[in-house]
Structure 1
Amino acid sequence: MINFVGAGPGDVDLITIKGRRLLEEADIVIYAGSLVSNLHLKFCKEGALMHNSASMTLEEVITTMKKGVEEGKSVVRLHTGDPTIYGAIREQMDSLKKLDIPYEVIPGVSSFTAACASIKREFTLPNVSQTVILTRKAGRTPVPEGEDLESLAKHKASMAIFLSVQDIDGVVDELIKGYGSKDTPVAVVYKASWEDEEVLFGTLGDIGQKVKENNIKKMAQILVGGFIEGDYERSKLYDPGFSHEYRKASK
C-alpha cells in the first residue's frame, strides 16, 4: 500500500494523527526534502529507508514505490502541506493505477490556511468575500488561459498565491490591474508555522519593496484581499436576530 501523506506547512505537530501514525509505521519514506521539515523523519522507525525526492524523477519515485510494494513493505510518500494542492500527485497516482498498486491520500494542513492563521484573519468574511482563490503566477510553468492574476483579481475574492514571491513585482503589477487599486491589503507570510516564520503586512502599493528589503525569495504565501483589513458585517450564524435549525431568533 502507498500512502500519500500531507506533512503540513512546517510545524511538525500540524500533521494529522493518521499521517503521523502512518509515518511511524512506514518501512519506506519518500519525502519532498526541499520543503518538508527534516524533523518529521525523527518519527520514523529505526531501519526505515529514506528517499529524498528532490533529486528524483517521477520514474524513479514510481520504481521505488513498486519495489517496496513487491517486497511487502509499507510506503509513505510525504508531501509538504496538503498533497492535493501543487503536490504533483495526480501523475504519481495514475502511474500506480496502471501498475495496479493500491494507494490512499491522507490530507494535511495547507500553507495557505497556516498563513491565514499566522496573521489571525478569516478568509471568508460576511459582505467582504465568501470565495477563496488559490493560484500562482505564471512562470516557468504556465497557467491556463483566463487564470492570470489580473483576471482572477477582478473577482475581488480573497486570494492565496503560491510559488510566486520570487516575482513579487510581476505579481503586484497584475493584481493592481485586477483589483483596480494599490490600496488593496496584502500579507506575505514566509515559512508559515516554521520557527523562523516572518510576516509582512502592506498594500499592493508597498508590499513589493518590503519583500525585497526582507530578502524573501521563496517559501512564502501572498495573501490578498479585504479580509486582511477593513470593515465587515457580523456573521448571521451567531446573530441573536437570526433563526436557524438549532436556535430561534430572539425578539
Structure 2
Amino acid sequence: MKIYFVGAGPGDKELITLKGHNVLSKADIVIYAGSLVNPELLDYCKEGCEVHNSAYMDLNEIIDVMERGVKEEKLVVRLQTGDFSIYGSVREQIEELDKRNIKYELIPGVSSFLGAASALNVEYTVPEISQSVIITRMEGRTPVPEKESLRSFAAHKTSMAIFLSVHSIADVVKELTEGGYEETTPCVVIYKATWPDQKVVKGKLFDIAEKVNEANIKKTALILVGDFLGDDYNYSKLYDKEFVHEYRNSSLDKERS
C-alpha cells in the first residue's frame, strides 16, 4: 500500500481532478486540511471512511495515522488544498515517509491562483503586456529569503500572485510601490476563489488596502497585481491569419493555392 497526496483544488468541489476524485472515493482513511479544504469534498468519500482534520494535528500525528493505515493495508489519502506544490508543506511529509520506508504518490490539483484567474475572466500572460508570473508571499512568521522580497520582485512589474499576505495588505502595497509598481497599477483581492462565498475586491494599488479593510477580508485571499488586470491588451500571434506555422499557411498562401 502507499499514501496518495491529492490536490483538492481551489474550493469548488467539482474542481478536483478526475484522478484525484477516483482515489478519494475509494479511500479508507482521509487526512484533510480542514482549515482550507472545502468540507464538501468529503461527500465523495465512501461510507465508513475514517476522516481526520489535520488542522488539529502536528506532523508526527499525521505521519502516524498514515503509517497505521499502510500497516492495516488501507488506502490512505492526504487531501490538501489547491495544488500542494505551492505552500503545501508536502516536502516535510514525504521526507518523514521516506524515513519510514512508506511509499507514496502525488496527484496534482488546481491551484487557487488558477481558480482566481478563471473567476476573474483574465489570463496572467497578455501578449506584449506581461509574459511572466511571479508567485510569492509577504514575509510573516515564515521568513522569506531577502533576495525574494516583494520589493525586489516589484522591479519587474510583471503579473504577480501573492499568497498568505492579505492580513498585511498595507505593507504589501508599500513594498510593491516602493519597489517599482506605479500606484495606479491594477490590483484585485479575491477571497476564497471558486467557493460559494467568493468575494472580489477590485482597485488599484493606491486604494486597494482601504477597500480590502472595508470588505473585512483578513485571510484566505489572494492578492493579484499587474497590468494584465487592466484594459490594455494585444492579440496573440497564435491565431493571426498571417502568422505561419507548421499547421497553418498564411491567408495569401491559401489564395495562391
Shorter chain as normaliser: what TM range? over 0.9
Residue identity in the other structure for 2:244: S
Aligned to 1:222: 223
2:249 is the alignment partner of 1:244: no
Aligned to 1:182: 183
What is the Cα deviation at residue 232 of structure 1? 2.2
- Residues 83-115 of structure 1: per-residue CA shift (max 9 Å, x gap): 111000001011111211111111111100111
Contact 2:137–2:163 under 8 Å retained in 1: yes
Supply the distance in 2 between the matched residues of 1:140 and 1:180 (Cα, whole angstroms).
25
Q: How does 1:79-118 map to 2 (within 5 A)?
A: 79-118=80-119
Residue identity in the other structure for 1:45: K
Q: What runs of 5+ residues in structure 2 fail to find an aligned partner?
A: 253-257
Residue identity in the other structure for 2:137: R
What is the Cα deviation at residue 54 of structure 1? 0.4
Contact 2:5–2:107 under 8 Å retained in 1: yes
Aligned to 1:11: 12
Calculate the aligned-residue CA RMSD, in Å: 0.8
Q: How does 1:194-213 map to 2 (within 5 A)?
A: 194-213=195-214
Bigger helix share: 2
Residue identity in the other structure for 1:161: I
Q: How does 1:32-111 map to 2 (within 5 A)?
A: 32-111=33-112
What is the Cα deviation at residue 183 of structure 1? 0.4
What is the Cα deviation at residue 179 of structure 1? 2.7
Supply the distance in 2 between the matched residues of 1:116 and 1:40 (Cα, whole angstroms).
22
Q: Aligned in 2, Cα 1:249/1:197: closer, same or farther, shift over 3 Å?
A: same
What is the Cα deviation at residue 177 of structure 1? 1.2
Q: What runs of 5+ residues in structure 1 fail to find an aligned partner?
A: none
Q: How many residues align?
A: 251
Counting aligned pairs with the same residue, the percent is 58
What is the Cα deviation at residue 230 of structure 1? 3.0
Range with bigger deviation, 204-213 or 240-249: 240-249
Aligned to 1:2: 3
Aligned to 1:146: 147
TM-score by length of 1: 0.98
Contact 2:157–2:181 under 8 Å retained in 1: no
Residue identity in the other structure for 1:104: E
- Residues 51-101 of structure 1: per-residue CA shift (max 9 Å, x gap): 100011111111110110011001000001001110000010111112111
Q: Secondary structure at the match of 2:67?
A: helix
